[in-house]
Amino acid sequence: MDDFDEKADTEERLARQQSIGAELRQVFDDVQAEPVPENLLELARLIDRRLGGEREPARLTLVASNGVRKDR
């Protein structure tokens, strides 16, 4: 394999990795944007009550791939 072939192969792999990374970021952002299911929130409330309950309910903080934090 000569230098030209190696460079082309490296560029192709890099392009493929960047494409996969972009797709994974989009999937993560889509999942992160979904609301927390009500049954999971109810379970968290039940656990809070059983652990002494008068404190503020637990918060779920998600960080999107772009660094934006969202509290739920």
* DSSP 8-state code for residue 12: H
> Taking the chain (72 residues) in consecutive chunks of 10 residues, what is each chunk's mean pLDDT?
79 95 95 90 89 64 63 59
Report pLDDT for 23.
97
Query: In whole angstroms, what is the distance from residue 44 CA to residue 47 CA?
Result: 5
**Domain coverage including residue 26:** 3-71
Report pLDDT for 70.
62
Total domains in the chain come to 1
